[in-house]
Chains A and B, each alone.
Chain A
Amino acid sequence: GENVEQHPSTLSVQEGDSAVIKCTYSDSASNYFPWYKQELGKRPQLIIDIRSNVGEKKDQRIAVTLNKTAKHFSLHITETQPEDSAIYFCAASKAGAQKLVFGQGTRLTINP
């Protein structure tokens, strides 16, 4: 079945700098890739998603890139702010499968 690997497991950046989180997936049929943000003790919240018919998607300070050939996708956060501190999860899914397969998560800390 699908396997999603996420790196790094922890990431610490200075406020205002950029943060990049990378994920690889194993099933070439996967074609939907959402990213979730989970603050301590709170629910995972969808922050951005991308479908396989596009290579990049942006929403203000957040962007996601997808390389289907290499089977990896990345989350880019620019001009980081303290409120960006959280655990971020990538996930993958495909047609015919009702489930999302999640990565192990990245704990992002923004240092003031």
Chain B
Amino acid sequence: ETGVTQSPTHLIKTRGQQVTLRCSSQSGHNTVSWYQQALGQGPQFIFQYYREEENGRGNFPPRFSGLQFPNYSSELNVNALELDDSALYLCASSQESSYNSPLHFGNGTRLTVT
């Protein structure tokens, strides 16, 4: 069984730039959720993708966008990067989009915005 994989592991960007983070879901999982984890904090929900469509969104501005592909992999795009976007970005997959379907996380992408 292949777990959730994310790329890249680390990334350094300059304020104002754009970034794309990638996630491959665990085999057998059709739902992908993205979370932002600031240093010393719990993960915060960005959005979820199910059947290639956004299926719920947290309190993040529109410059955070995403995609899900037919193979259930996903991308997180962030435009006009701000210093506060520096964080660990976690992707999690689940078997279903149900609220109580256990999430399986990837190791995350550490984004630093300077």
Contact = CB atoms under 8 A, between A and B. Distances in A.
Interface of A: 4, 6, 31-32, 34, 36, 42-46, 49, 51, 89, 91, 93-105
Given A43-B90, A43-B105, A46-B104, A97 B40 contact: no
Nearest to A101: B45
A95 B99 contact: yes
Interface string B72-107: 000000000000000000100000010110111111
A105 B40 contact: yes
| SS of B interface (majority) | loop
A98 B97 contact: yes
B28 interface: no
A46 to B, nearest CB: 5
A96 B99 contact: yes
B66 interface: no
B50 to A, nearest CB: 8
A34 B102 CA distance: 8
A32 B40 contact: no
A42 B107 contact: yes
Given A42-B107, A43-B108, A100 B102 contact: no
Interface string B1-45: 000100000000000000000000000000001000000111111
A105 B39 CA distance: 11
- Point out which of A6, A45, A89, A99 has the most chain B C-beta atoms below 10 A from its C-beta: A99
Given A42-B107, A98-B55, A49 B102 contact: yes
A102 B42 contact: yes
Contacts of A31: 100
Contacts of B97: 98
Given A32-B99, A98-B33, A44 B41 contact: no
A100 B97 CA distance: 12
B6 to A, nearest CB: 9
Closest 6 CB pairs of A and B: A102-B42, A98-B56, A99-B45, A32-B100, A43-B105, A98-B48
